[in-house]
Amino acid sequence: MASAAAAGAPPGPAAPRARKSVTGTRKAVAVLFLLPALVLLGALVVYPIGYSVVRSFGTNSGHGFAGFDNYKTVFTDDGILTALRNNVIWVVFAPAVATALGLVFAVLTERVRWGTAFKLVVFMPMAISMLAAGIIFRLVYDQDPDKGVANAAWVSVHDTFARASAFPMAHPGRESPLVPQGGGFVTKAVVHAGQPVTLPLVGVAPDRMPGDAKKAAAAPAAPGEVTGTTWQDFTRGKGVGRLGAPDPGELGYPGMRIEAVKGGEVVASTKAAADGTFTLPAAADGARLRLPASNFREPYNGVEWLGPSLVTPAIIGAYVWMWAGFAMVLIAAGLAGVPRELLEAARVDGASEWQVFRRVTVPLLAPVLAVVAVTLMINVLKVFDLVYIIAPGSSQDDANVLALELYRRGFAEGQPGVASAIAVFLLLLVIPVMLFNIRRLRREVRR
């Protein structure tokens, strides 16, 4: 009941009118009951507020009066401005995304029998520490696609659409007919129809060879066509074997792209078969053959989630993972209070589910949505652990937020004056909510 009132839902049964002391207590007893709480609150919460305000006008060393210098630093220092800008991004996006997801989840789970199980799963991250969540997401966002699940998924999606190059690290061996050119390789001499060409390379690790590679075969001479073989001129354990000719056990380079270049222009192109053989039309006669750079690009390595530009959105993602459940549970509680008849009436009138959602459910939930969003905004201002843990040292400056900057200034850099100014600024930001709480409760208390 107390919870419903606090969540902004209609208050429960009215508190007894004019709650007079049942016991006719002497004031001394009341003081005894209140004293521990008031002393602790005074010393640990109220006193620090006053002290912070005073301290924010003092110099960092603690001797002397600094006027507004610390505040000037807050609004001019590049590092703090970055933190400020990030805080704006946080306050705008994190609560909005978490609330929107919470709303969608709350509405959808209503129609599913195992909705409670789903809610449990989404709500669970609320129970764990931001430190644990930070470590969890540090792992998710790991740059290496063989470690971080985000990049593993991203790379596999990427590679479905843009095939990764098959032969990174391939390069000509000794006495090769090929020379490097623009990231790829080109034959030293021109090729002629009817004379099979060999394009041997080395350097592709055995486990990186394409699965469909077959034993390399010498291409038969064909009149009027340029034929040839491109293959890995190296076998593990056996070495190069005969230089420049396919030995048994050596594998072809299937899919290797081959271009015939004459006077700087590509006159013909083809791809090698599974055994490395290829055939080019007569137009290639007298051209040089090129293995273009696209064959040898480094494999796509995924997104640098925790790099300077993506680190804040990435951490916001972790935050949403933690707090969408909170929004969902509060909104679901509000949803339970929405009169079914209203929704049914709209449906009977022929409204689609989307229209019911958009025109009936959301407006009715507006007060709850506001409470959730405001709560999350306050919460977001205090986010420290997630940023501190997830952002690697190299991009922590880019991910900076005020709460983190306060800690760094106050405890790592020995600038308690500036840190206090940040603290006062944070406090000013939550004062509107403080006033709102007081107004709302004053009505309840007086009832």
Partner 1 sequence: MTAIATDTRAAAPATGARPSLGARITQKLGGTLVRVLLVLVGLFWLVPTIGLLISSLRSPDDMSASGWWTVFTKPSELTFGSYRKLLENGDITHSLLNTVLITVPATVLVVVIGSLAGYAFAWMEFPGRDWWFLGVVSLLVVPVQVALIPIAELFGKVGLFGTIFGVVLFHTGFGLPFAVFLLRNFFAEIPRELLEAARLDGAGELRLFARVVMPLGGPAIASLGIFQFLWVWNDMLVALVFTKSGTQPITVALQTQVRQFGNNIDVLAPGAFISMVIPLAVFFAFQRQFVSGVMAGAVK
Alpha-carbon span 297 to 183, nearest angstrom: 8
Q: Residue 201 CB, nearest distance to partner 1 (Å)? A: 27
Name residue 259's amino acid. E
Pairwise CA distance, residues 204 & 167, whole Å: 6
CB of 159 or CB of 444, closer to partner 1: 444
Q: Kindly state the smallest distance separating residue 28's Cβ from partner 1, in Å.
A: 10
Smaller CB distance to partner 1: residue 222 or 434? 434
CB of 187 to partner 1, least distance (A): 39
Q: How far is the CB of 88 from partner 1 (least distance, A)?
A: 17
Our CB check for partner 1 shows the closer of 285 and 405 to be 405
Closest to partner 1 by CB, 48 or 184:
48
Nearer to partner 1, 251 or 376 (CB): 376
Give me the DSSP letters along 291-333: E-GGGTPPPP----TTSTTTHHHHHHHHHHHHHHHHHHHHHHH
Note the residue count of the chain.
447
Q: Match 């409204």 to its residue by tokens.
A: 351
Cα separations in angstroms, 167 against 221, 237, 272, 273, 368: 26, 20, 13, 15, 57
CB of 303 to partner 1, least distance (A): 16
Closest CA to 365 of 1, 7, 2, 3: 7
Q: What is the DSSP letter of 164?
A: P
What is the C-alpha R_g of the chain? 34
Write the secondary structure of 59-110 as one string of H (helix), E (strand) and C (coil): CCCCCCECCCHHHHHHHHCHHHHHHHHHHHHHHHHHHHHHHHHHHHHHHHHC
- Give me 430's structure tokens: 């939550």
Tokens, residue 71 = 């505040």
- Residue number with CB closer to partner 1 (34 or 169): 34
Position of tokens 């790379």? 155
Compare residues 300 and 384 and give the one whose CB is closer to partner 1.
Answer: 384
Name the β-bridge partners of 40.
none
Q: Yes or no: say if 302 and 151 are a contact pair by the CB < 8 Å rule.
A: yes
2 vs 189, which CB is nearer to partner 1?
A: 2
State in angstroms the smallest separation of the CB of 79 from partner 1.
17
From the CB of 311, what's the least distance to partner 1, in Å?
Answer: 14
Please, what is the minimum distance in Å from the beta carbon of residue 352 to partner 1?
A: 10
